[in-house]
Amino acid sequence: MPRKKQVRSEQTKQDILNAAGRLFAAKGYDAVTMREVAKEAGCSHTAIYIYFEDKEALLHELSIPALTELQLQIEAKVSGKLEPEEALRQISLDFIRFCLIHRNMHRIFFEARSVRVDEAEPELEINRVRNGMFRLLMQAVRQCLDLPEGSERLLSATRIYFYLLHGIVGTYQLSEESAEELMERLLPTFREAIEVLLLGFRAQHAPDK
C-alpha cells in the first residue's frame, strides 16, 4: 500500500510538471497561475502546494536539469583539448541543437525570471546556471579573440554571439520540422553564420598595425 501511494504521488508530481510545461510554453511564464497549473494537471489548487512551494519551484524543476546538462557539455568543450575556434564552433552547434530540441521551452529556459548576464551572484539558482553558461561562452570567445578578461569589448562580443545563437533558434521556433531535420538541412548555413561572425570579430578586434 505505501508503495502504491508513493507511485501515485510521483505520478501526480510529474503530471503537475507536464501541465506547467504546457502552460508556460503556450502562455508564457508570467501569465500562468498555480491555480491554472493545478487545474491542467487534474489536482486541487491546494494539493499542488504539497509538491511545489510556488511557481518558481516549478520553473526550477522544469529547467535546471536540462540547463545543467547543457552547461556541462559546454564546459567540457571550453576546457578540453580543442583549438579555441573549433571549441566555439562546437559549443555554438550544441547550443542550437539543444534549443531546437527544447524549442517549446526555449524562451522559458532562458528568459523567465532572467537577470543581466553579467550579474555575478544572481539570487535564483536558474539564473546562476544561465549566467554560468554565459561566462563559459565568454571564456570561449576570449580564447578565440584574445580579448582582455573582464573587458567591455569581451562582454559586448559575447552578447553579440549570444544574440546570433538565439536568433537562429527563434527563426525556427514554430517550425514543424524536427530538430534533427533542421540540423541536417541547415547545418551548412549555421556553420557559415558562425564563420561570418568570427570573421567580423577578427577584423574588428585585430591589433592596430
89 burial class (0-12, 13-18, 19+ CB within 10 angstroms)? buried
pLDDT tens digits along 108-147: 999 999 999 999 899 999 999 999 999 999 999 999 999 9
CB 148 within 8 A of CB 154: yes
- Euclidean distance between CA atoms 147 and 84, whole angstroms: 13
DSSP letter assigned to residue 94: H
Series of mean pLDDT values for 10-residue runs along the chain (209 residues): 65 96 96 97 94 97 97 95 94 97 95 95 96 96 93 95 96 96 98 96 72
CATH 1.10.10.60 fits 2-51, yes or no: yes
Rounding to the nearest 10 degrees, give the CA dihedral for residues 62, 68, 70, 71. 150
Nearest Cα residue to 38 out of 59, 57, 60, 23: 23
Domain segments of the chain as ranges? 2-51, 55-205
State in Å, rounded, how far the first CA of the chain is from the last one.
Answer: 78
- Euclidean distance between CA atoms 185 and 148, whole angstroms: 37
Query: What's the confidence (pLDDT) of residue 9?
Result: 85
- Fold for 55-205, please state it: Tetracycline Repressor; domain 2 (1.10.357)
Per the confidence metrics, is the pTM higher than 0.85?
yes
